[in-house]
């Protein structure tokens, strides 16, 4: 095992040393064993993790820090942000040489808590754990969860809830808001220091290039576009795309009131604290570009306006290319020179107009038979004339591909999950966990870790939600 503390040692003027504060009767509920093995960490038991997190001599809290940053929240600049309830414990150098942050969420008050208690609740930590692992196994770039810690300590949000902690793992915790903060506060020496740090540890291959700032921004633009394209293709609504929740690595980060689509509603809003729908499902691609424009301001000491514009103009093509690739795969359409967007868009329009479940119907599409009238899908649509026209067009295209049905179906099932994270199921997991029963949490994790498999033993997690399960209100409270 090799630990490093580059934030504490090399960004000391940008962070504040903070020790994690233990919760009452804290206990480790689960450890992500596969991630633990990837990181090469030596602590395998629940007791070992409690000791290493809260012991005075622990290598994980000797250099723990809270970070300062700002961010655009719902379009408005806020300079008064930072790690208000989490601390960066350490960086670990994995056996393959990759560098990963270990961040403890719910670690207690920091200088950036703004009069809050610095805690996280069991509800929100479970939701982040489930979501990050669900996205990871779908192939969507994301932070991950290493372990979940429950407690008997009560904290108050809209009501009294059990306090909890979670260790989050990702390439780094550098956000758009870090760069924005030092630019807007005119601390340009610290901004340059942050860029130098980023090139040293996270954009190493660019560090010696005379175009390194343009290339770094270009990489962030491309990675962000690909991430959001994946969100749109798999029906994921993040819910709070503030720039302090955007990672320079193009990973899904800081989970709040997220949701996977149930019925396909393009303008779906998963966050009841967002009545104007700034972060609605269909708004995410546009917000991604808005956020990149906000980040790009921090590059203006190093790049001309024309250079920044040229890089930002790459965003749309990266997003459309990645989205098109995934959607063709979901619909069983081979990449070629033929524009199949009309077929894909018509399918989406039919799902939207008849309020069909997004994931369930894409999974059913895997078994589509090119022969008109044979498809089991047809009977589930009200407007069968429209369906027949679309099915005939799809069948004609499939016949030209010369792709055997069995092979096409198997390929499609690698892009159309049978198991996706449902808010109503997550709530059932939370309800049981708050009573001390984490068995449903563990079982649901198994289903989410193999989303494309046909697993009859987990069939109950594949059903579309009941009507009441589609209307759960999720807020930013955590």
Any idea which residues carry the catalytic annotation? 244
Distance of CA 66 to the CA centre of its chain: 22
A 10 A CB-CB count for 439 gives 10
Q: In what helix (H) or strand (E) does residue 426 lie, and over which residues does it extend? A: helix 423-433
| SS3 call for 454 | coil
Helices (H) and strands (E) in the chain, counts: 16, 12
CA separation for the pair 414, 442 (Å, rounded): 23
For residue 142, what is the DSSP state? B
> How far apart, in Å, are the Cα atoms of 308 and each of 149, 170, 301, 395?
43, 27, 11, 44
Structure tokens that stand for 448 in this block: 């989410």
If you count them, how many residues does the chain have? 478
> How far apart, in Å, are the Cα atoms of 39 and each of 32, 36, 156, 200?
11, 5, 34, 21
The radius of gyration of the chain from alpha carbons, rounded to an integer in Å, stands at: 23
CA separation for the pair 78, 219 (Å, rounded): 26
The residue written with tokens 């700032």 in the block is 213
Q: Mark out the alpha helices in 143-211 (DSSP H runs).
A: 176-184, 188-201
Structure tokens that stand for 222 in this block: 């491309």
CA separation for the pair 110, 108 (Å, rounded): 7
> How far apart, in Å, are the Cα atoms of 446 and each of 224, 312, 416, 456?
28, 39, 17, 13
Q: Tell which residue, 173, 190, 166, 187, has the closest CA to residue 82.
A: 173
- C-alpha angle 153/157/158, rounded to 5°? 130
Structure tokens that stand for 102 in this block: 């270990």
């Amino acid at each position: 095992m090799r630990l490093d503390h580059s934030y504490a040692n090399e960004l000391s003027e940008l962070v504040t040393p903070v020790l994690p504060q233990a919760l009452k009767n804290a206990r480790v509920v689960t450890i992500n064993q596969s991630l633990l093995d990837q990181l090469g960490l030596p602590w395998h038991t629940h007791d070992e993790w409690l000791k290493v997190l809260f012991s005075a001599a622990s290598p994980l809290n000797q250099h723990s820090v809270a970070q300062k940053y700002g961010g655009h929240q719902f379009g408005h600049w806020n300079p008064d942000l930072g790690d208000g309830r989490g601390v960066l414990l350490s960086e670990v150098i994995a056996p393959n040489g990759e560098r990963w942050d270990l961040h403890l969420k719910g670690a207690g008050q920091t200088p950036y808590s703004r009069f809050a208690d610095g805690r996280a609740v069991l509800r929100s930590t479970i939701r982040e754990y489930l979501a990050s692992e669900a996205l990871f196994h779908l192939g969507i770039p994301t932070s991950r969860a290493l372990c979940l810690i429950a407690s008997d300590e009560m904290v108050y949000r809209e009501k009294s809830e059990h306090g909890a902690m979670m260790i989050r793992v990702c390439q780094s915790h550098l956000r758009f808001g870090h760069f924005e903060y030092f630019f807007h506060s005119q601390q340009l020496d610290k901004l340059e220091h942050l860029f130098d740090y980023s090139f040293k540890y996270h954009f190493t291959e660019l560090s010696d290039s005379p175009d390194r700032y343009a290339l770094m921004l270009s990489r962030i633009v491309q990675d962000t576009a690909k991430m959001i394209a994946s969100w749109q293709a798999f029906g994921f609504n993040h819910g709070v795309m503030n720039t302090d929740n955007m990672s320079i690595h193009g990973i899904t980060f800081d989970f709040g009131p997220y949701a996977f689509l149930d019925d396909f509603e393009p303008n779906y809003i998963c966050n009841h604290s967002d009545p104007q729908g700034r972060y609605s499902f269909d708004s995410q691609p546009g917000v991604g570009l808005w956020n990149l424009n906000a980040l790009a301001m921090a590059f203006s000491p190093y790049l001309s306006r024309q250079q920044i514009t040229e890089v930002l103009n790459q965003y749309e093509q990266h997003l459309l290319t990645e989205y098109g690739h995934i959607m063709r795969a979901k619909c069983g359409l081979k990449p070629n020179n033929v524009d199949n967007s009309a077929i894909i868009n018509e399918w989406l329009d039919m799902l939207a107009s008849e309020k069909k479940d997004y994931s369930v119907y894409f999974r059913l599409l895997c078994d589509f038979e090119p022969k008109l009238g044979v498809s089991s899908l047809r009977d589930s649509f009200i407007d069968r004339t429209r369906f027949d026209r679309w099915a005939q067009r799809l069948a004609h295209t499939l016949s030209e591909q010369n792709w055997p049905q069995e092979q096409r179906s198997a390929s499609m099932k690698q892009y159309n999950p049978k198991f996706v994270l449902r808010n109503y199921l997550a709530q059932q997991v939370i309800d049981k966990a708050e009573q001390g029963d984490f068995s449903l949490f563990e079982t649901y994790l198994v289903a989410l870790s193999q989303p494309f498999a046909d697993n009859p033993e987990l069939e109950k997690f594949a059903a579309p939600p009941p009507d009441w399960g589609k209307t759960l209100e999720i807020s930013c409270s955590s």
